[in-house]
Amino acid sequence: MWFPAPKVGIIPPETLLTLVGNATAGFPTPLSHTRATNKSEELVKDRRKIRFQLERDEHGYAPTNFEGLRGAMRADGNFMIDNIPFFVRGLSDGDVVSVRREAGELIFAELVEPSTSSTFRVIPTDLAKSAEIRADLKEPGCGTEYDQVVGLISVDVPGSTPIESLDYILEKKRDGAVDFEEGVLRHEL
């Protein structure tokens, strides 16, 4: 499967909408994700699913109305996000958020304390290369999650990891091997 590289450096909404729309037919929303984490075990104590409302742009992107992210409850009642967002913008792994409770669900209220991490999304033009791309991103210290339904890789660049580690992705984009978009940039350029 081939995805045309956009001129502005983002995943074309129609690409994800087509993939997610076809692949998730009959599946419930919200989307949720899993991954192995390198975070300390203290965060595993009270992890819960937090529901994030997604706003659709003029092209109908994001491809679902909600995304579910895990959060680890802190002593102050807020939650530290414990996975990498696929569609939520402006948040990263490690951010601290407040929630409200509705009908037994935790609903995102606001960002309380941003982490120093940046988040990017990558979609390989050859989905068979996803594992290789994830391994290459892990080497400089980036965390990744993979959505098998659409072949989308979410990338966490910790504040301690130089943003230059994404030069690899820029090279892959120039070669037509990936498309990407920014979820949130917290590194100084």
Q: What is the pTM of this model?
A: 0.76
CA–CA distance, 154 with 101 (Å, rounded to integer): 27
Residue 1 clears pLDDT 60, i.e. is over it: no
How far is it, in rounded angstroms, from Cα 69 to Cα 88?
Answer: 9
Q: Is the CB of residue 68 less than 8 Å from the CB of residue 32? A: yes
Residues 174 and 84: their CA atoms lie apart, in Å, by 25
Average pLDDT over residues 40-53: 74
Q: Which helix (H) or strand (E) holds 17?
A: helix 13-23
Q: CA angle, corner 119, sides to 117 and 123, nearest 5?
A: 155
Above pLDDT 90, what percent of the chain? 62
Token look-up 């807020």 returns 78
pLDDT tens for residues 119-162? 999 999 999 999 999 999 999 999 999 998 888 999 999 999 99
The predicted pLDDT at position 107 comes to 97
- β-partners of residue 145 are 154
Least confident range from 36-50, 148-162, 165-179: namely 36-50
Per-residue pLDDT reduced to its tens digit, 51-104: 999 988 888 878 889 999 999 999 999 999 999 999 999 999 999 999 999 999
The DSSP letter of residue 146 is E
Q: Catalogue the E-assigned strands of the chain.
A: 31-32, 47-53, 66-73, 79-81, 96-102, 105-113, 118-124, 143-147, 152-157, 178-184
pLDDT of residue 174: 95
Q: Which two tokens stand for residue 57?
A: 């742009």
In this predicted structure, the answer to whether residue 22 has a pLDDT above a threshold of 60 is: no
Amino acid of residue 10: I
Using pLDDT thresholds of 50, 70 and 90, give the confidence band for residue 45. Answer: low
Dihedral sign of CA atoms 180, 170, 4, 143 in order: negative
Closest C-alpha to 105, from 32, 179, 168, 17:
32
Residue 41: pLDDT band with limits 50, 70, 90: very low
Residue the block writes with tokens 């659409």: 150
Q: Do 82 and 36 contact (CB within 8 A), yes or no?
A: no
